[in-house]
Amino acid sequence: MEETQREAAWHEEEEQAEVAIWKYAFGFTEMAVVKCAIELGIADAIESHGSPMTLSELSSALTCAPSPLYRIMRFLMHRGIFKEELTTHGFPGYAQTSLSRRLIRNGERSMAALILLESSPVMLAPWHSLSARVLANETAPFDVAHGEDVWSYAAENPAHSKLINEAMACGARKVVPAMIHGCPEVFDGLSSLVDVGGGNGTTLQMLVKAFPSLQGINFDLPHVVSVAAESIGVEHVGGDMFSSVPKADAAFLQWVLHDWGDNECIQILKKCREAIPGDKGKVIIVEAVIEEAETDKLTDVRLALDMIMMAHTNTGKERTFKEWGFVLEKAGFSRYTVKPIPAPQSVIEAFP
């Protein structure tokens, strides 16, 4: 009886493996087809129409042939990205879902910019050198693909820099509201805040709107802030976070420290500590915290982010609770707290 159960379990595992392996053989297709949907503007067209659209209506709106569009939509509907509903005339049509609305270019919950960045040829090329990075542990895959690191490349290629800033703004629009609603007390008593590596200032715009008494300093590389739009309550300052950080009640770092190794993180954090008051200042860090045994719904996202850091940065990584404690202690912080929010990241408050 026991032997029969073991054999049945083995056969079940084999059957599951036979199905699962195809996902890894063709896994790239999901990213490619979703990117195609964004570039075509499928979700934007259906949203503008205001109701389900037939294949003919959608192909006319997108000025493309119905046949290949039908195949794209069949793929996306099978994955639940779009759904079928009757049009106002009673014909089968394509309708939006909560997921497809995240593909609208300028939608409130849009993730389009982040998808376009990660699926761009520039960011895809380094993945082909991931195994070489593991074997040699020397040259980063991005450097192998492009001959320089991601920051130097962005400085020399304004279009790619714009893509990065739009993607980071996209991430901010997801995470900052979760902070504002989940732990607003983090900003209690602050009259000024410097966003270190703040990109185009999207994060500060949202924070200043939510907390009107807050004065924001958007601090990033000169070529980044030079193209940032002016905004009430936000001052754009160019500079190098490894040299100095503008003074403020608190320093804010979102998706910055995971780009760097421990030594660089400690150096950045020391500069942030120098920029804040010793008695009441703090550093607010918004980053993933990985725990080896975690199994929540966003575990896969955090582990994928760690692989992205390996492919796209020289020394970056996502850190465990213990690893965050190490860099914060070495940077001279006496204590810190970690607050989970409904996002892949957590909010870490570090105090001098």
Beta-carbon contacts of residue 160 (< 8 Å; ≥ 6 apart): 120, 122, 153, 154
Question: Residue 57 catalytic?
Answer: no
> Out of 146, 287, 312, 349, which one is annotated catalytic?
287
Question: Residue 11 catalytic?
Answer: no
Question: Residue 49 catalytic?
Answer: no
52-69 burial string, b = 16+ CB within 10 Å, else e? bbbbebbbebbeeeeeeb
**Among 285, 268, 200, 207, residue whose Cα is nearest residue 236:** 200
Q: Are the CB atoms for 306 and 323 separated by under 8 Å? A: no
> Out of 57, 258, 312, 349, which one is annotated catalytic?
258
> Out of 318, 323, 329, 349, which one is annotated catalytic?
318
Which stretches of the chain are DSSP H helices?
2-25, 28-40, 42-49, 55-62, 66-78, 112-118, 121-124, 130-136, 141-146, 150-156, 158-182, 202-210, 222-225, 262-275, 299-312, 321-330
d(CA 259, CA 282): 21
Residues annotated catalytic, as ranges: 258, 287, 318
